[in-house]
Chain A
């Protein structure tokens, strides 16, 4: 499955939108449950099956979702699920799929999607390229309005939208940005900035979300609390803090280029050289080398490569994408060779 999709660009990584050289994407997820039905974590198979069909019917009835695909988890292989994870359409929890009867709706351009029976009955997602948190929230809000025409959501006048985990209750919103901070990492300022962000009520994680290392200097910053503030306030505060971080990152780049221009330029050119000529490349190494390239594009060290193709390479060189792209199952060694091949082809 998805053989066609792997050759298509992920639109939320188009390189468009505000500050898209530093902020790769903005995402908003809304947690919702159907009134009177046990949450997926405790519901039996029969109930989960029913929820899956309710949501499917709602999507089919609504004109807003008429150009997309719905897949139940039973049609998806583990590699299909990993492919969707790499494309940020599902969560790591969705891939683990312990209970079955899950589903994923993917809008035609992949900017909207709906996970069914993950931790909550619905996780509605909107994602956009660049720093576009407000517009992304508006999109998710529209999807939510549309779905609530067909589904009655569990809602309490004091607690708001009810969710399986009490950390999501209220607005059920998780707004996040994927942000590239090589300057702060190289100048060792990043830990200070992270602890400052955490104190302001936001959480910081690595590229693939919960429990992962920071690869390629990519961080995901999101709101932590969901109750007591409006969605607009949550979104606005994330936007403001992100703008501050962009400023810190800019300052650290100025420092780097003032104190160590040659070293940094050397690092960028070496990364370019390795990516263009190496024969074996691991996924972690590529993430880090692409980070140097991204820095090089922004600072004008490199020319002739655009953010758009760089973003696509970031996704295309992930394990499940590589295997879909070449149409065969491969072990890690085979993937490392193919990965180098694809990079040579795209960068030369």
Chain B
């Protein structure tokens, strides 16, 4: 089927619009569909995090202390400006040397800078008490803020028990 507008190209956009119970069929090529103002519902919606990352990386460069701008990761030889440019870190060690900057960045990207998921190793989950303690500390803070002192005392007891267990 040819595009009903230009009558030259193959129609690849087929639409049935229903306006006030009346049906309108449209068979257009991509260019003519765009001319009529139809666009893909995803248009302009690039992976939002990637774009967001680029913008906050630029900002972060201005706040980086000058000595860090010069230093390079000893393992992969990547510097902070390289990271800002590509949006990619070079190795695990980069996460150590750019830690303060990354903490700030990760909070902006993920709304958190603490991992709460899987821990490697199929054996005993050695990190579990640490995570549990972290979770309880957060609950404690909330309870204190809400002035729920009874609950706060209970949580404190659980933290103590956890510490004794280790």
Contact = CB atoms under 8 A, between A and B. Distances in A.
Interface of A: 33, 35-39, 41-43, 119, 141, 144-145, 148-149, 152-167, 169-171, 173, 185-188, 190-191, 194, 198, 203-206, 210-211, 213-214, 219, 224-231, 256, 259-260, 263-264, 267, 274, 282, 284-285, 288
Interface stretch (B61-69, B113-121, B145-153): B113-121
Contact of A225 (B10, B75, B89, B109): B109
A38 B92 CA distance: 7
Main secondary structure of the interface of B (DSSP, over half): loop
Interface of B: 1, 10-18, 21, 23, 40-42, 45-50, 53, 75-78, 86-92, 95-96, 102-103, 105-106, 109-122, 127, 130
A38 B115 contact: no
Contacts of A214: 40-42
A190 B41 contact: yes
Contacts of A166: 53, 87, 89, 102, 105-106, 109
A282 B106 contact: no
20 contacts: A36-B75, A37-B91, A39-B90, A42-B76, A42-B77, A152-B120, A169-B95, A170-B110, A188-B17, A191-B41, A198-B45, A203-B48, A227-B112, A229-B117, A230-B116, A259-B18, A263-B23, A267-B14, A285-B10, A288-B14
Given A149-B122, A191-B41, A225 B113 contact: no
A149 B96 CA distance: 25
Given A149-B122, A166-B53, A263 B45 contact: no
Given A148-B121, A158-B113, 11 more contacts: A36-B75, A119-B88, A144-B118, A159-B115, A166-B89, A185-B41, A194-B42, A205-B45, A210-B46, A225-B109, A227-B106
A172 to B, nearest CB: 9
Contact of A165 (B1, B18, B87, B116): B87
B14 A173 contact: no
